[in-house]
Amino acid sequence: MNSKLSIALCQLMPGPSKTENLARAGKMIDQACERSVDLIILPEVFNSPYQADLFPVYAEPYPGPSTDFLCRTARDKGVGIVGGSIIERSTEGRLYNSSFVFDKHGNLIGKHRKMHLFDVDMPGRITFKESDTLSPGNNITLFQYNGISIGLLICYDIRFPEVSRALALAGAELLIVPAAFNHTSGPLFWELVLRSRAVDQQVYVAAAAPATNKDASYHAWGNSLVVDPWGRIIARADDREQIVFAELDLSVNEAVRREIPLFKHRRTDLYRLEYQPISNMEEYTGQEDK
């Protein structure tokens, strides 16, 4: 089993032009490939503004302009690409927040539709409702790359530990999370949630976010980061456009699980709530037996 993986997180800043966004992604991928990397990760909705009312405008089918770009670039550069996410229009006309993964030959090896839609109302801070335009995906996604099992989630999915645990139990050694936390949720939860998932599941976590665009209606938090299975941040961006590089040693997962064997200690016989009402409350006197 291959235990090494070199990754690059491209924290680009999307604008209103899809053509320019793809060109910007291409330039950052070119820069990342100046170093020897195995896998490049783009942010959530990397090809358009993250704005619910605009999702139908930027939506495209698969195959389409953005996935063609990802396929061609992966093949031409000889590098795997996790294509962040785009707004996908299905053959039935539904819209999904979808991530497409291509290997170094340009073959599609993974696809994930965001399962949990970001519908929040925090008065005076942020209100956003993805479900106004998007449909939720219904599958947990695990794919293989370079002999490594990788779980793929999109943004809000990471807030639900059941998904990460299912992936870890299925053999995931790395969780990849294209995401676009904002300036409200970012300071509160971003680092906390990503480090928690790494520690809970004893795996690496790599999360790629857009850079902050102050001219956009939605201000992404940026701060793309990579966390090791001990919960230590080993690479991090700020809120500006940049590339984050990290060298992963997946054998660390095994060492962590050997030293702190959480998965062996799981009590699956107890992980359910069984309510047993007291049949006769008068049987309890509140006094110790004498």
Percent of the chain with pLDDT over 70: 95
Q: Is 216 a member of any domain? A: yes
C-alpha 75/C-alpha 105 separation (Å) is 5
**Per-residue confidence band for 117, with pLDDT thresholds at 50, 70 and 90:** very high
Is residue 276 helix, strand or coil? coil
| Identity of the amino acid at 67 | T
pLDDT of residue 278: 66
**Per-residue confidence band for 122, with pLDDT thresholds at 50, 70 and 90:** confident
Residue 260 pLDDT > 60? yes
Q: Is 283 a member of any domain? A: no
Structure tokens given for 284 = 């309890």
Assign residue 239 the CATH number of its domain: 3.60.110.10
**Per-residue confidence band for 39, with pLDDT thresholds at 50, 70 and 90:** very high
Any catalytic annotation for residue 34?
no
**pLDDT mean across residues, the chain:** 94
Mean pLDDT across the stretch 23-39? 98
pLDDT of residue 124: 85
Residue 290 pLDDT > 50? no
pLDDT of residue 284: 52
Any catalytic annotation for residue 264?
no
Q: Which of 114, 130, 173, 191 is catalytic?
A: 114
Residue 7 pLDDT > 60? yes
The upper half-sphere exposure of residue 282, i.e. CA atoms within 13 Å in the direction of its Cβ, equals: 0
C-alpha 38/C-alpha 57 separation (Å) is 33
Q: Is 290 a member of any domain? A: no
Q: Which of 111, 155, 173, 191 is catalytic?
A: 155
Tell me how far CA of residue 43 lies from CA of 49, 82, 165, in angstroms. Answer: 12, 9, 23
Domain carrying residue 139? 4-264
**Per-residue confidence band for 123, with pLDDT thresholds at 50, 70 and 90:** confident
Q: Which of 10, 44, 77, 130 is catalytic?
A: 44
Q: Is 278 a member of any domain? A: no
pLDDT by residue (tens digit) across 181-214? 999 999 999 999 999 999 999 999 999 999 999 9
pLDDT of residue 120: 84
pLDDT by residue (tens digit) across 42-58? 999 999 999 999 999 99
C-alpha 85/C-alpha 113 separation (Å) is 9
Is residue 98 helix, strand or coil? strand
Domains held by the chain: number: 1
Q: Is 36 a member of any domain? A: yes
pLDDT of residue 154: 98
Q: Is 207 a member of any domain? A: yes
| Identity of the amino acid at 244 | V
pLDDT of residue 273: 86
Any catalytic annotation for residue 71?
no
Structure tokens given for 22 = 């793809």
pLDDT by residue (tens digit) across 132-183? 999 999 999 999 999 999 999 999 999 999 999 999 999 999 999 999 999 9
Q: Is 65 a member of any domain? A: yes
C-alpha 259/C-alpha 266 separation (Å) is 15
Q: Is 272 a member of any domain? A: no
